[in-house]
Structure 1
Amino acid sequence: MFTPCPTERSRLLAERIEAFVRQTVVPYERDPRCGAHGPSEELVAELRGKAREAGLLTPHILPDGSHLSQLETAAVLKRSGLSPLGPVAVNTMAPDEGNMFLLGRIATPSQKARFLDPLVQGARSAFFMTEPAAEGGAGSDPSMLTTTAVRDGDDWVIDGRKMYITGAQGAKTGIVMARTGTGEQAQATMFLVELPHPAIRIERVLDTIDSSMPGGHALVAIDGLRVPADDVLGAVDEGFKYAQIRLAPARLSHCMRWLGACARAQEIATAYATTRKAFGKLLIDHEGVGFMLADNLIDLQQCALTIDWCAGVLDSGAHGTVESSIAKVAVSEALYRVADRCVQVMGGSGVTRDSIVEQVFREIRAFRIYDGPTEVHKWSLAKKIKRDALHGARP
């Protein structure tokens, strides 16, 4: 179900990661330290310790600090996703993987030493952008940002509230998006913060449908957070531009990881359908079941090809905004169909937590919203179609 690895080094790395996830990580899937708000800090540390011993911690970043190509990253992250705990163990989970990518592209050498290096070694991070809808804050529309950052001498003072902040509980590094422009044109800046910080208070960790990401998703209050100018990430007022640098690869990374999870769900559903009998024959010999597994095989292969296509675009140096939107919609919707069919094939056992298939279904449902809901991406693509048509551009 996985496309061929693009390079020899990615093939060797992908094979090692797949073996590690299947042999070492999968047995932890029923560990009681996997809770409603993700695996506990103790479990994260234990898993990452095993990955470190195996030489597989943060495999997408090479010893010299360089990053695998996106096509190589796809080969690695697909395998890490074979268990919901796989990306946690090898440190390719969101939001850390996306934050590491952004810091590698934008941060100064001193900022990398303080904020990036600990993440590469296994510390966790959070990206503070989304805000409470009830307060008119930013969600799918980042221009609605209400958190403010105001200059005070050589510092900036940040105030606001953030919502659905993945991994804030237990994070050591934070990237905070705040409005810094005063004119009609929305402007924002990114700020680096060492966590925990007394000015950043977690009001509560939300109960959500998914449970794979350490720290869960938090509602956070930021009151009088003072950040020195040296901790501005990149240039002032360029936060929206940097968010785009992060978002396209991050969307695709989600696709990579969850493809691996759905490939595993397909394996489990297939094993069930080829051993369980009903009405005198194996389940897979009933067309209603066999066809669902066949449809899954088709969707999984199409997802793998779509991911590699978008990865190739990003590797060409293009921003890949349109391509990543296409990939996010196509892959998240197809994988939801795959997960849903796996549950259906397995019947009652598909909705119990005796199998990882139930969790995969929940995670993929959330994935259709995270990093941009399907409808927002389609709306963006429709605007491009209209713009190109009115200006005579050809597809």
Structure 2
Amino acid sequence: MTVFDVTPRARDLRERLTAFMQEHIYPNDAEVHRQIDTGNRWEHLPLIDQLKPRAQEAGLWNLFLPPASSRDGKYGAGLNNLEYAGLCEIMGRVWWAPEVFNCSAPDTGNMEVLARYGTPEQQEQWLIPLLNGEIRSAFSMTEPDVASSDATNIQASIVRDSDGYVINGDKWWTSGAGDPRCKISIFMGKTDPDAAKHLQQSMILVPLDAPGVTKERMLTVFGYDDAPHGHAQMTFRDVRVPAANMLLGEGRGFEIAQGRLGPGRIHHCMRLIGQAERALELMIERAGQRTAFGKPLSGHQHVREAIAHSRMEIDQARLLTMNAAHMMDTVGNKEARGQIAAIKVVAPNVALRVIDRAIQVYGGAGVSQDTPLAMMYAQARTLRLADGPDIVHTETVAKVEMKRHAARQG
């Protein structure tokens, strides 16, 4: 198999997913926004609840778990990263679509952590309800008072006390915590400040209804609150959880993080490419509909150049991302770390450029609520920070290249 090939099963899933999007997702985009803006913005949406059983019936449910995390096929569809990447791009064309298929972040990463590292008891209590779409989850890592791009800076504490742990810390950008169905968060904090730098941190399961857990406020992204999903700033004050809630063991937080973030970055990048494809389609449609200075916008050279450069850049970003997925499947996440870092820089920047060109072609409508472009731009810009800022990934690419060069010279 080459990086460009997918299995017949993956091709079949792509066709069925595309058909589902055409029938149920695109026609309901306006209705989803209407439901968000009606009544309590933080209630989950009836329309999405209605579509989830249809996705399950169509066999388009829990597609994301790779074989390494599926426990002999017990969980998920068993697709590898390359096979799932194409599906993720299709779902990513509409921001709310992944939830319909139970493939939305941060649930996907959390489910993979629980499937890969969780005990049978943790899986029974939390993973099974997540796989069934009965609850949602969050991930509590970033902190407001330190530069969390360097995760060794994290100051939250997880202290052993008798038969449990006591948790204290301030977290923000805890995505998903706005949803009333969000019942559990994976929390990262220090269990041993005196250990070696990458052995100080651990991850533990914290129920969001535990005493001492407080949602202080919901954060906005360029003014968007992303309801009903949302991003919370939270405090954890003397929160007690059982010792059985520890994931994998004390000091293994970075190990879990690396296992979680590799596939998650592929997912983010492919969803961004889906957004860029949709933005290009909207740009072309607009260019054919509007007239300026005596001819259609598509007749102006600078608009045609915008279309051409968008196509070239999207295809480059897709091939780079698919190559990273292929390497993860064939040589592992560690060997693919340079490629994973590269796509995390390239994909959001390409998406931003394409969406920006589409906004320019739309004019004032492009920055209004009448098109999805403004929200798409805000989300794409966020992903130059989420899962690590550009400069961190750029440094990784440089280190990998210099190490490769040194090995050749030696």
The answer on 1:297 being equivalent to 2:311 is yes
**What residue in structure 2 maps to residue 51 of structure 1?**
55
Letter in 2 for 1:295: H
Asked whether the 8 Å contact 1:129–1:138 carries over to 2, the reply is no
Shift of 1:351: 1.4
CA–CA distance in structure 2, aligned partners of residues 270 and 211 of structure 1: 29
Residue 144 of structure 1 is aligned with which of 141, 150, 153?
A: 153
**What residue in structure 2 maps to residue 155 of structure 1?**
164
CA–CA distance in structure 2, aligned partners of residues 295 and 65 of structure 1: 41
The answer on 1:41 being equivalent to 2:55 is no
Query: Superposed, which structure 2 residues align to 1:10-49 within 5 Å?
Result: 10-30=10-30, 31-34=33-36, 40-43=43-46, 44-49=48-53
Shift of 1:260: 1.0
The answer on 1:121 being equivalent to 2:137 is no
**What residue in structure 2 maps to residue 100 of structure 1?**
111
Residue 314 of structure 1 is aligned with which of 318, 325, 328?
A: 328
Cα distance change on mapping 1:108 and 1:138 into 2, 3 Å: farther
Write the deviation string for residues 60-95 of structure 1: whole angstroms up to 9, x where unpaired.
348731531001110111111121111122122211
Residue 183 of structure 1 is aligned with which of 176, 194, 197?
A: 194
Asked whether the 8 Å contact 1:33–1:39 carries over to 2, the reply is no
Shift of 1:377: 1.2
Q: Which moved more, 1:231-240 or 1:344-353?
A: 344-353
Shift of 1:155: 0.9
Shift of 1:383: 3.7
Cα distance change on mapping 1:29 and 1:197 into 2, 3 Å: farther
CA–CA distance in structure 2, aligned partners of residues 80 and 341 of structure 1: 22
Q: Which moved more, 1:344-353 or 1:121-130?
A: 344-353
The answer on 1:167 being equivalent to 2:179 is no
Residue 359 of structure 1 is aligned with which of 356, 365, 375?
A: 375
Write the deviation string for residues 179-234 of structure 1: whole angstroms up to 9, x where unpaired.
01131523111111333323211011112225557421110011112122221111
CA–CA distance in structure 2, aligned partners of residues 64 and 298 of structure 1: 40
Letter in 1 for 2:392: V
CA–CA distance in structure 1, aligned partners of residues 238 and 42 of structure 2: 31
Write the deviation string for residues 291-311 of structure 1: whole angstroms up to 9, x where unpaired.
101111111111111111000
Q: Which moved more, 1:64-73 or 1:330-339?
A: 64-73
Cα distance change on mapping 1:35 and 1:163 into 2, 3 Å: farther
Secondary structure at the residue paired with 2:350? helix
Alignment root-mean-square deviation, CA = 2.4
CA–CA distance in structure 1, aligned partners of residues 57 and 123 of structure 2: 24
Query: Superposed, which structure 2 residues align to 1:225-264 within 5 Å?
Result: 225-264=239-278
- Count of aligned pairs: 389
Residue 369 of structure 1 is aligned with which of 385, 397, 408?
A: 385
Asked whether the 8 Å contact 1:206–1:219 carries over to 2, the reply is yes
Letter in 2 for 1:189: S
Structure 1 stretches of at least 4 aligned residues deviating more than 6 Å after TM superposition: 36-39
Residue 192 of structure 1 is aligned with which of 185, 205, 208?
A: 205
CA–CA distance in structure 2, aligned partners of residues 100 and 38 of structure 1: 26
CA–CA distance in structure 1, aligned partners of residues 8 and 404 of structure 2: 40
Shift of 1:32: 2.1
Asked whether the 8 Å contact 1:255–1:307 carries over to 2, the reply is yes
CA–CA distance in structure 2, aligned partners of residues 314 and 212 of structure 1: 31
Shift of 1:128: 0.7
Letter in 2 for 1:333: N
Asked whether the 8 Å contact 1:127–1:165 carries over to 2, the reply is yes
Residue 130 of structure 1 is aligned with which of 138, 142, 145?
A: 142
CA–CA distance in structure 2, aligned partners of residues 311 and 48 of structure 1: 27
Secondary structure at the residue paired with 1:93? coil
Cα distance change on mapping 1:335 and 1:350 into 2, 3 Å: same
Shift of 1:175: 0.7
Asked whether the 8 Å contact 1:179–1:188 carries over to 2, the reply is yes
Cα distance change on mapping 1:50 and 1:213 into 2, 3 Å: farther
Secondary structure at the residue paired with 1:318? coil
The answer on 1:9 being equivalent to 2:23 is no
Secondary structure at the residue paired with 1:32? helix
CA–CA distance in structure 1, aligned partners of residues 227 and 204 of structure 2: 23
Write the deviation string for residues 323-378 of structure 1: whole angstroms up to 9, x where unpaired.
21111111111111111111112222211211112221221111111111112211
Cα distance change on mapping 1:342 and 1:305 into 2, 3 Å: same
Q: Which moved more, 1:273-282 or 1:310-319?
A: 273-282
CA–CA distance in structure 2, aligned partners of residues 263 and 225 of structure 1: 44
Write the deviation string for residues 114-165 of structure 1: whole angstroms up to 9, x where unpaired.
11111111121101111113xxx35101001111011111211111111111
Shift of 1:49: 4.1
Give structure 2 stretches of 5+ with no counterpart.
Answer: none
Secondary structure at the residue paired with 1:60? coil
CA–CA distance in structure 1, aligned partners of residues 37 and 190 of structure 2: 35
Q: Which moved more, 1:207-216 or 1:34-43?
A: 34-43
Letter in 1 for 2:342: I
TM score, norm. by length of structure 1:
0.91
CA–CA distance in structure 2, aligned partners of residues 283 and 89 of structure 1: 36
CA–CA distance in structure 1, aligned partners of residues 208 and 60 of structure 2: 26
CA–CA distance in structure 2, aligned partners of residues 164 and 175 of structure 1: 13
Give structure 1 stretches of 5+ with no counterpart.
Answer: none
Secondary structure at the residue paired with 2:64? coil
